[in-house]
Amino acid sequence: MALWTDVIDPATLTGYIREALSDIESRKGSLARYLPNRETPDISVRFVAGQAGLVAEASYRAYDAEPEVGKKPSGQRIVLELPAVGQNIPVSEYDQLRTRNASDELVLREILNTASQVAQAVSDRVERVRATVLRTGVATISEIAAADDYGRTAGHTVTAGTLWSSATSVSRLTDLQTWVDTYETTNGTLPGRIVMSRNAFRLLQTGDEFKTSLVGGGSRRATADQVNEIVEGEGLPPIEVYTRRTSAGLLLPADELLLLPEPVDPNDWQGTQLGSTFWGQTLTSSEADWDLADVDQPGVVAGVYRNEKPPMIAEVVSDAIALPVAANANLSFKAKVA
């Protein structure tokens, strides 16, 4: 297939697909608010894992005595290769025939509609790896048998002593307080959000602690606003219900919740210590025919190719190098509640 630029060039289509990705993240809700996007002109990243959290206290000294020499927080220096991700979606011979005598605007619309599907596919796959990293502390990618372990302490993956699904009398607040205390002990700071599935929220909501007593001895389940008010009134972080799913199912399983730092803008990678979603630079982006400026080469790119012989099928081709990285994996915590 040859690059097909009759209707749209790769630089313009790349700008469109990146805008579509950004729109998907803002419209659907994205874990990029916890592992923000960060572009790098490379295919590998280097960082020191585990530097967030508590540091050794300073020591008092006598006048004229030198200050004690301290140590930087311990951490493991890590180099990771970023894997490639992408999807090609055909613009079929039939669809091209239907628009054969149409204006360039209609042909462009067909290409952009296909590009939107490509953006969705890339977004969904990267978002699933974000969820895996936040749930497990490991970037597991089955297609390439990769499992980059970011070294989260075992105590940050727990199961409720008595599952919330087993009885309404189980103290949900006690569990949450225990897990938040563990998080704070490890990191020296409270989590900023409790992120949970809709099912986990409903199990929280049905707990006896959240019931409203009615005249005559009856009771009713608390509303969502009342649940949040009670939780935050106990000094616990706000709750965020995360329900995003892809063709492969829910990204956060129905029986789990996460403790995470305060969310930031999906592109504010400097605003959090938890980590980032690195977007590297593909070989495709540096091709002369793609005509991408150096500054625009890192990140997902897209172009249209077309077969020069029958059946002359065209394809919207995407190419990216991306990996969610938890530089300080202990700033995440997972609890199974059902």
Per-residue pLDDT reduced to its tens digit, 92-142: 666 666 666 655 677 788 889 999 999 999 999 999 999 999 999 999 999
This prediction has a pTM of 0.88
Cα 41 to Cα 295: distance, rounded to the nearest angstrom: 9
DSSP string across 74-129: P-EEEEEEPPEE--EEEE-HHHHHHTTTS-HHHHHHHHHHHHHHHHHHHHHHHHHH
CATH code assigned to 2-52+77-152+263-326:
3.15.30.10
Report the pLDDT averaged over residues 18-24: 94
pLDDT, greater one: 88 or 336: 336
- Residue 251 · residue 245 · CB < 8 Å: yes
Of 20, 90, 6, 5, whose CA–CA distance to 317 is shortest? 90
Q: How far is CA 334 from the centre of its chain?
A: 15
Residue 49: what pLDDT? 74
* pLDDT value of position 263: 96
pLDDT of residue 69: 78
**In a 3-state reduction of DSSP, which class is residue 317?**
strand
Mean pLDDT of the residues in the chain: 90
pLDDT at position 93: 67
* Domain boundaries for CATH 3.15.30.10 within the chain: 2-52+77-152+263-326
pLDDT value of residue 43: 92
- Torsion of Cα atoms, 9 then 12 then 17 then 19, to 10°: -170
3-state DSSP call for residue 199?
A: helix
pLDDT attached to residue 308: 78
Kindly tell me if the per-residue pLDDT of 54 is higher than 60: no
Q: Tell me the DSSP string of 12-54.
A: HHHHHHHHHHHHHHHHH--GGGTS-EEE-SSSEEEEEET-SS-
CA distance 217 to 309: 78
Region 40-54 average pLDDT: 77
